[in-house]
Chains A and B, each alone.
Chain A
Amino acid sequence: MGKSLLDKVWDLHAVRELDSGQTQLFIGLHLVHEVTSPQAFAMLREAGLDVPFPDRTFATVDHIIPTDSQARPLRDGQAEVMLTEIEKNCRRHGIRFFDPASGHQGIVHVIGPELGLTQPGMTIACGDSHTSTHGAFGAVALGIGSSQVRDVLASQTLAMARPKVRRIEVQGKLGPGVFAKDVILHIIRILGVKGGVGFAYEYAGSVFDAMSMEERMTVCNMSIEGGARLGYVNPDDITFEYLRGRPYAPPADRFEEAVAWWRTVGSDADAEYADVVRIAASDIAPTVTWGINPGQAIGVDAEIPDPSSFDKHERDVVEDAYQYMGWHEGDRIAGTKIDVAFIGSCTNGRLSDLREAARVAKLGRVAPNVKALVVPGSQDVARAAEAEGLDRVFRDAGFEWRLPGCSMCLAMNPDKLQGRQVCASSSNRNFKGRQGSPSGRTLLMSPAMVAAAAIQGVVTDVREVLGKGNA
C-alpha cells in the first residue's frame, strides 16, 4: 500500500513521537505577521529562549497596514505600535522582514509563494488559519496559534497530531464563468463547515490538474473554512514551472535536483485514504454565500434555501443567518443590492484574480452608490498588475486601486463596512461582523462575480455580463 503526500512529508519531518502521542514535527518554513507574533516573541523573552533557525522564518505586515497610505507613523497609533514591534522583534532575532520599503510586502500567503519560499514537500506553519493556502504546492501547511508560534520560534518544531486524509476528486471541466473560488465554495457547501475537522484535504482530479498555481492556492486557502486545517494538491509540472526563477526557489544549477526530489513527495497511486469524495465539475455554478458561514452558499441562479429544508442541527444557524442577513422566504441571491465591492485577500488577491475581475470591469462602470475597492495581495502583484495596465482599467471603471494588505477581509485597518452594508467580497469569511461593522453583511464570491456586482449594483451572474461583452 502506498503513502499519501501527507504521510510522506510528515514522516520526513518527524523528529520524534512525544509522550502525548503527538509528533514533534520539524517546520521547514515559518511565516509570521504582526497580529499573532508579538505575544509569541514576548513569551520567548520571558522564557529566555532564542531563535535557533532565524533563516527559516520570514515576516511581513499585512493585517493592520492601511491601504490608502503606508506613510509612517501610521495614522492609527496602535497599528504603528504593532508595526514597530514586529520590526524590533525581527531585528533582535535576525529574521528577514518584508516591510513596505522592501518592495515585497504583502499578505503573508501571497508573498510566501510568489517569492518562491513555499515549495513542495515542506512543512509550513504560520499564526494564521489561511496557511492552508501553501498546500497548493504540495506542502503540509498548518495554521497555528500564538503559543505555537512561540514553539516554532524556539525549536523550529511543533507538537502536532497527524490528521487523516480525505481525497476530494473533482473531475470534468469547469463551465465558463466558473472559477476556483466556486469550486471550493461548492466543496464546503457539500461537506459542511465542520466536515473537515481532523482531516487534511487532498484535492485531486482533472479540475485541479488543469488549474494554475494561483487557482490551486484559492482552493487550498479555504480548506479551513470547511474545517480542514490543511489542504493540498500533489505537485506537478505546473508547480515546478511556477517556482522556476523565483527569488527563493532553488537556483538554476540545482533546480532539476529539486524537481527530482519534489516528484518523490506526491501521493502514490495506491495511497490509502480515510475517505474519498467525488464531485462532478459540471455541477458547479458561479457560487455565492447567502449566510453567515462559508458553507451557506448557493448557485447564483438559485433561490435562497428555505430554513425548513435543513435538518434540526443546521436550522438554528440557518434561522440566525436569515435574520442577520434580512432574507425573506423565496428571495433569490441574484439581484441582491450591494453597497460595497471588495476584490482582494489571501484567497483572491493575486494577478490572475485581478485579470479576471478587470475583464469584467472593462465592460462597465461601478454603479452609483457602490464603493468598490481593488486591493492587490502584495507589492509584487501590484507592480505586475500596473505593468499590464490593470490599475487603469479599474480606475477608469470607478474602482479604487489600493495598496497591498488584508484590507476589508477582516477590517483590522481603516477599510471597514458601515452599519448594515452589504459587501460583494472575494475574501474567505462571511461571519457576522467580519468586515468591520458588527451588523455588516458579506456575500462571498469569485473576483469576476464581485466585479459584475460592482458594475450592476446587484449580485449578477457573471456569465450574463461576459456573454454580453462577447456579443
Chain B
Amino acid sequence: MSAGESQQAVVDSVTGRPIPLPGNDIDTDQIIPARYMTAVTFDGLGQHAFQDLRFEQDGQPKAHPMNDPRFRAKGPRVAIVNKNFGCGSSREHAPQALWRWGVHALVGESYADIFFNNCVAMGLPCVTMSEAEIERLMASVNEDPDHDLVVSLATMMLTYRHQSYAIEMPEGARKRLRTGAWDATGQLVQALPQVREIAGRLPYVQGFRS
C-alpha cells in the first residue's frame, strides 16, 4: 500500500517502528521547507523531510530523532507527535514528505485542520491520545525503541511493548480510511448530476438572471 499509488486501499491498521517527533506547533515549513517545493511532483521530498532541523546548512547532521541511530529502523514508521502538528501552510508536500520518508501513521495530541485533511486524503491516518498517554508512549519508546507499534483503526487501540493505549479519530475520517474511501474523488465525481443541479440553483452561478 502506498499513498497515491494503490488507490481505494483499505487502511485498517498500520504496523511500524516508532519515531518520536516531539514539540508543539510544528509547522509545515519545518516539515518541508519551501525551497524544496520548486517542482511539479512530490518525488524526492522524503529525503528533505525536516531538512533544517536535521541538518546544518553545510549538510552536517544535527541531533534529531530522524538522525538518531536508535530510530533508524527500516520499513514503515509511526510518528509520535505533540500538539497542533502540521500547522501553517496547506502544502500537501508536508505529509507527502513524511510518507516518502516512511511515516505511514501518526499518533499525537492534536493536528492542524488542513494537515489532518491532507493526510486522510492520501490514506495516512492521524490518531490522537491524551497528553499523558503520549508522554507514557514516548517514554516507553525512548526506553526501548526496537519494537513494532501497531495502530488499529478497527479496535481504536494502539499497542507497543505489550501495553495498550486507547486512540481517537473523528468517525468520518476513520470510516473513510477503513472503507478505502479516503480518496474521495471517485465518490464526488459520481454525484456530478446533483452538482449541476446545485450550480443551477445558485444565483451567482446563473449570473443573477432572475
Q: Contact between A145 and B112 (Cβ–Cβ < 8 Å)?
A: no
Q: Which residue in A148, A155, A411 is a CB contact (below 8 Å) of B34?
A: A411
* A427 nearest CB across to chain B (Å): 12
Q: Which residue in A13, A257, A433 is a CB contact (below 8 Å) of B29?
A: A433
Residue A354 at the B interface, CB < 8 A?
A: no
Chain B residues contacting A18 (CB-CB under 8 Å) are 172, 184, 187
Chain B residues contacting A131 (CB-CB under 8 Å) are 90
Residue B89 at the A interface, CB < 8 A?
A: yes
Q: Contact between B175 and A79 (Cβ–Cβ < 8 Å)?
A: no
CA distance A43 to B202 in the complex (A): 29
Cβ < 8 Å to B, chain A residues 423-471: 429, 431-434, 436, 438-439
Chain B residues contacting A250 (CB-CB under 8 Å) are 204, 207-208
* A15 nearest CB across to chain B (Å): 5
Q: Contact between B185 and A145 (Cβ–Cβ < 8 Å)?
A: no
Q: Which residue in A14, A197, A410 is a CB contact (below 8 Å) of B113?
A: A197
CA distance A22 to B113 in the complex (A): 14
Specify which of B25, B90, B170 lies most central, judged by the most chain A CB atoms within 10 Å of its CB.
Answer: B90
Count of interface residues, chain A, beta-carbon cutoff 8 Å: 84
Residue B30 at the A interface, CB < 8 A?
A: yes
* B145 nearest CB across to chain A (Å): 21
A85-B121 CB under 8 A given contacts A155-B188, A157-B195: no
Q: Contact between A154 and B30 (Cβ–Cβ < 8 Å)?
A: no
Chain A residues contacting B159 (CB-CB under 8 Å) are none
For A27-50 the 0/1 string (1 means CB < 8 A from B) is: 010000001101100110001010
Residue B106 at the A interface, CB < 8 A?
A: no
A26-B195 CB under 8 A given contacts A155-B185, A194-B25: yes
Residue A92 at the B interface, CB < 8 A?
A: no
Residue A258 at the B interface, CB < 8 A?
A: yes
Q: Contact between B199 and A156 (Cβ–Cβ < 8 Å)?
A: yes
Residue B41 at the A interface, CB < 8 A?
A: yes
Residue B24 at the A interface, CB < 8 A?
A: yes
Residue B72 at the A interface, CB < 8 A?
A: no
Least CB separation from B118: chain A residue? A145
A145-B90 CB under 8 A given contacts A81-B40, A293-B25: yes
For A191-229 the 0/1 string (1 means CB < 8 A from B) is: 001100110000000000000000000000000110101
Residue B52 at the A interface, CB < 8 A?
A: yes
Chain B residues contacting A150 (CB-CB under 8 Å) are 185
Residue A404 at the B interface, CB < 8 A?
A: no
A197-B202 CB under 8 A given contacts A145-B121, A257-B208: no
A15-B203 CB under 8 A given contacts A20-B181, A81-B40, A145-B117: no
Q: Contact between A12 and B202 (Cβ–Cβ < 8 Å)?
A: yes
Residue A236 at the B interface, CB < 8 A?
A: no
Q: Contact between B90 and A127 (Cβ–Cβ < 8 Å)?
A: yes
A145-B209 CB under 8 A given contacts A121-B204, A258-B203: no
Chain B residues contacting A42 (CB-CB under 8 Å) are 40-41
Q: Which residue in B38, B88, B90, B95 is a CB contact (below 8 Å) of A144?
A: B90
A194-B84 CB under 8 A given contacts A154-B188, A156-B195: yes
Q: Contact between A147 and B183 (Cβ–Cβ < 8 Å)?
A: yes
Residue B42 at the A interface, CB < 8 A?
A: yes
Cβ < 8 Å to A, chain B residues 4-28: 4, 23-25, 27
Q: Contact between B83 and A78 (Cβ–Cβ < 8 Å)?
A: no
CA distance A405 to B117 in the complex (A): 28
Residue B132 at the A interface, CB < 8 A?
A: no
* A138 nearest CB across to chain B (Å): 12
Q: Contact between B188 and A193 (Cβ–Cβ < 8 Å)?
A: no
Chain A residues contacting B87 (CB-CB under 8 Å) are 193-194, 227, 293
Q: Contact between B112 and A293 (Cβ–Cβ < 8 Å)?
A: no
Q: Which residue in B34, B173, B191, B207 is a CB contact (below 8 Å) of A16?
A: B191
CA distance A12 to B51 in the complex (A): 44
Chain B residues contacting A389 (CB-CB under 8 Å) are none
CA distance A457 to B56 in the complex (A): 29
Q: Contact between A410 and B92 (Cβ–Cβ < 8 Å)?
A: no
Q: Contact between B117 and A148 (Cβ–Cβ < 8 Å)?
A: yes
Least CB separation from B194: chain A residue? A15
For A229-266 the 0/1 string (1 means CB < 8 A from B) is: 10000000000000000000010001001100100000
Q: Which residue in A20, A146, A156, A436 is a CB contact (below 8 Å) of B35?
A: A436
Residue B63 at the A interface, CB < 8 A?
A: no
* A198 nearest CB across to chain B (Å): 7
Least CB separation from A253: chain B residue? B208
* B105 nearest CB across to chain A (Å): 17
Chain B residues contacting A49 (CB-CB under 8 Å) are 185, 189
Chain A residues contacting B39 (CB-CB under 8 Å) are 78, 81-82
Cβ < 8 Å to B, chain A residues 54-81: 56, 63-64, 76, 78-79, 81
CA distance A144 to B95 in the complex (A): 13
A313-B24 CB under 8 A given contacts A20-B175, A161-B172: yes
Chain B residues contacting A121 (CB-CB under 8 Å) are 204
Chain A residues contacting B57 (CB-CB under 8 Å) are 438-439
A257-B210 CB under 8 A given contacts A79-B38, A293-B27, A316-B24: yes
* B8 nearest CB across to chain A (Å): 11
Q: Which 8 pairs show the lowest CB-CB distances between chains A and B?
A: A145-B92, A145-B118, A38-B40, A20-B172, A21-B172, A155-B188, A147-B121, A129-B90
A258-B208, A436-B34 known, 14 other contacts, Cβ within 8 Å: A18-B187, A26-B195, A26-B202, A36-B90, A39-B92, A157-B195, A194-B25, A198-B113, A224-B88, A410-B34, A411-B35, A429-B88, A431-B88, A433-B29
Can you name 22 A-B pairs with beta carbons within 8 Å? A12-B201, A21-B172, A26-B199, A49-B185, A63-B34, A85-B40, A127-B92, A129-B89, A145-B91, A146-B42, A150-B185, A151-B188, A154-B189, A161-B170, A194-B25, A194-B87, A224-B88, A224-B114, A227-B87, A434-B29, A436-B35, A438-B57
Interface residues of A (CB under 8 A from B): 12-16, 18-22, 24, 26, 28, 35-36, 38-39, 42-43, 47, 49, 52-53, 56, 63-64, 76, 78-79, 81-82, 85, 119, 121-122, 127-129, 131, 143-148, 150-151, 154-159, 161, 193-194, 197-198, 224-225, 227, 229, 250, 254, 257-258, 261, 293, 313-314, 316-317, 320, 410-412, 429, 431-434, 436, 438-439
